[in-house]
Structure 1
Amino acid sequence: MNLPQIQKGQQIQRPHRLASFNLREILGSSWFQCAACGPWVLSPFFRPKFLRQALLLLTLHAPLLAADSNGWTRLPALPDKEGFASMFAGVSGGALLAAGGANFPDQRPWEGGKKVWYDTVFALEKPDGQWKVAGKLPRPLGYGVSVTHGGGVVCVGGSDADAHRAECFRLEWRGGKLETKPLPPLPRAVANLSGALLGDTLFIAGGIEKPDSTRALKTFLALNLAEPKPAWRELEPWPGPARMLAVAAAQDGAFFLVSGADLAPGPDGKPVRTYLRDAFRYTPGQGWKRIADLPRAAVAAPSPAPTVGATQFLVVSGDDAAQLTAKPGEHKGFPPSVLAYDTRADRWTESAPTPAPRVTVPTAQWQGAWLVVSGEQKPGIRSPEVWRFLPHGFGAEHR
């Protein structure tokens, strides 16, 4: 094996954490950090054989995860060259499930391409495994909400090629077989909604009722999944504009509703978006409270938002409206910016960027990490990539 030669005292890239080991832990005292500039530097007392051992480990783990900086790594991509926007995702039977969604398989939308919805359910049983087709949804569906609860993936609302839907169901992966169990339907059909699970209660906010809606919904619903016969309850909505494609989070005993887009009819009768930067906290038994505005809009960012520790959550990328005037096909992609919110300090700060900026994309927690599953990398262009975020060490340098 031909290994790169590194001289004593040479500055090299800061090591980062892979699946279950840390390169700095392997090299131990061979590394020190410069107090003035921060980078990791190779010690003059470093023995090259340790580097060979570390690089060998990295080589052996390459098929498992393609590593990137800031705690992000790639898992096996979905077995579809396009990928999907707004799938349902979660964990059941120890496996990661990814289902439904939509894409433009033949031509881009500005070329006259037609959006197609899917009913395929994929399963990944281990991080270094291969995706398999696990079964099908009750119908082609996407643009709903999904969370993991009670050994299954709860799927709520969404749309297909014909209409928006109110149906809700649970996907369960047991013994290599997929089961679908019904849940109470929503009071109305809705897609482009947001939601998160706080304890056993699923909270759902906003969305739009029809594909041609010119007004977003200002509705806030709750479903206690632990009840023998769960039923949707309509709660007082947040003290702000209606919205769709918002980011939801559950952290520090509260539900958070962040950003999104309001709608109004334009001069031609078609919906016009207003990009929102406001944010709200709902604490059961106490109600709503407006919190600090975001530094930028983050429409359709990965949701539910990944949480870090007991008091932080992350808004990863999202549409910030910076390229609304870009010509079709010339969009440069969504911002890699990651915003961290501290629930105790009521403060947003810029965190380390993501290598995978996506919108209309679900998240899930699996084996101690947060996942961003497929999604849209540019308007009309999806990605089959699945990214894993390990928030180890996320702390002072990110605050």
Structure 2
Amino acid sequence: MKKLFLYLIFLLTAISFSKLQAQQHIQTIGWNVVAKIPPAPMQSQSIGLAGAITGIHQHLLFIAGGTNFPDKMPWEGGKKKYYNDIFIYRKMARGLALRPYQAKLPFNLAYAAVCSIPAGIVIAGGENETGLSPKAFIMQWENGKITFNSLPDLPEGLTNAALTLVGDILYLAGGETTGGATDQFLTLDLKNTAAGWKRLINLPQPVSHTVLLTAGTKIFVIGGRKGNSGDTSTIYKNVWMFDVKDPVWKAKTSLPVPLSAACGVGAQQELLVFSGDEGKTFHQVERLIGEINREKDEERKAKLNQSKAVIQAAHPGFSRKVLKYDIARNVWTVIPGTMPYGTVTTKAVWFENEIIIAGGEIKAGVRTPKILSGKIKTTK
């Protein structure tokens, strides 16, 4: 009797699993370039932006701020330039159309933590030529014009952090202060902003350049990196989950490979992560920088600098993979096909039924002006 009972349980489990498999869809994404970011003032052609603010409000796409190297690459002595331009796009039957509207951010800004919410686009921290910013504000489109509403300052200047929303609460994870990557996890209640940012339980590890995604009340911190003084940076493959109903960090299945500066979106009960830096070239350059800093002989130092420039100029580009995380099964898979190009230090957003990834860095120091659209395709 016991054997029969166990057999029936096994049979029912097998049938249920078969049904689950039959119901599952293999997702692919069809990619197209749907627009380009215009040239900056005084530039004849666009060379793109990295670290730009990307968000959605009132059925419009906003791209603002960002950086590039307009004259020379950084290893040739080029200086990073920061911007405050705002570009607004509306969706067309095919592609995106740039609205003829000129506006500026209150100041030059890049690498801010950004989150689109019903009230507008929240922008927190970031950096510019004067240093790290503690400022936070909401950019809104109201009555045909852009307005800015201040939020409480962050506890200190912070760049390369990540931001998301659950209910009426903003959650900000990690980032870099003047002391390096931080493990802070902050909240701001949008119904009581006067209370300011509050610190929750620390992240399991200091991290910047992470992907922060939500599914219901669950918040996921995916990959990222931490600079290490005198050594190469740690690039994480760890994935951590925080449920606002059960406020502790729980380790989930790690990424297939370490990734930093990727971007992603939530898609029902799945999370999608696009591109990212696996760190091979990044670590090579860091090792050479360490050797250069320790070298006393000027001739040897010049040769090391030349080697570093060769490696940076020959950068192979970033990962073109799309990774999918099944929340219920706690499993990562690689979606068939690849992106047209890998791009980092940018943000992915849902624009109605399309995934939009605007600009970003495609090789060391090199930006792209292209705006990618991804449409999810499903097959049984």
- Please name the residue that 1:79 is paired with: 38
Kept after mapping to 2: 8 A contact 1:306/1:363: yes
Separation in 2, partners of 1:96, 1:230: 30
- Unmatched 5+ stretches in structure 1: 1-68
Aligned-residue RMSD, C-alpha: 1.8
AA in 2 matched with 1:160: N
- Please name the residue that 1:102 is paired with: 67
User: 1:234-282 CA deviation, whole Å, 9 max, x = no partner?
Assistant: 100232x21111111111431100111112210xxxx741111111000
Correspondence 1:1-399 to 2 at 5 A: 70-80=29-39, 81-127=46-92, 128-210=96-178, 213=179, 215-227=180-192, 229=194, 231-239=196-204, 241-266=205-230, 272-286=232-246, 287-302=248-263, 305-309=264-268, 311-324=269-282, 325=284, 327-352=311-336, 353-393=338-378
Give 1:227 shift.
3.9
Moved more, 376-385 or 145-154: 145-154
Determine which structure has the larger strand proportion and give its number.
Answer: 2
Give 1:92 shift.
2.0
Kept after mapping to 2: 8 A contact 1:120/1:133: no
Separation in 1, partners of 2:107, 2:86: 11
Kept after mapping to 2: 8 A contact 1:275/1:321: yes
Kept after mapping to 2: 8 A contact 1:296/1:320: yes
Q: 1:74 to 1:342 in 2, by over 3 A?
A: same
Kept after mapping to 1: 8 A contact 2:181/2:226: yes
Separation in 1, partners of 2:129, 2:232: 21
Q: 1:236 to 1:228 in 2, by over 3 A?
A: closer
- Please name the residue that 1:63 is paired with: none
Kept after mapping to 1: 8 A contact 2:220/2:240: yes
Give 1:386 shift.
0.9
Q: TM-score, normalising length from structure 1?
A: 0.75
Kept after mapping to 1: 8 A contact 2:185/2:199: yes
- Unmatched 5+ stretches in structure 2: 1-27, 40-45, 286-310
Determine which structure has the larger helix proportion and give its number.
Answer: 2
Kept after mapping to 1: 8 A contact 2:152/2:193: no
Q: 1:362 to 1:133 in 2, by over 3 A?
A: farther
User: 1:144-198 CA deviation, whole Å, 9 max, x = no partner?
Assistant: 1111112311111100112101100111122331111111111111001112222
Kept after mapping to 1: 8 A contact 2:259/2:278: yes
Separation in 2, partners of 1:209, 1:78: 29
SS in 2 for 1:390: strand
Give 1:126 shift.
2.6
| Count of aligned pairs between the two proteins | 316
Kept after mapping to 2: 8 A contact 1:244/1:262: yes
Separation in 2, partners of 1:111, 1:380: 11
Give 1:111 shift.
1.0
AA in 1 matched with 2:234: T
SS in 2 for 1:259: strand
Separation in 2, partners of 1:218, 1:132: 42
Separation in 2, partners of 1:230, 1:384: 39
Separation in 2, partners of 1:135, 1:207: 28
SS in 2 for 1:238: coil
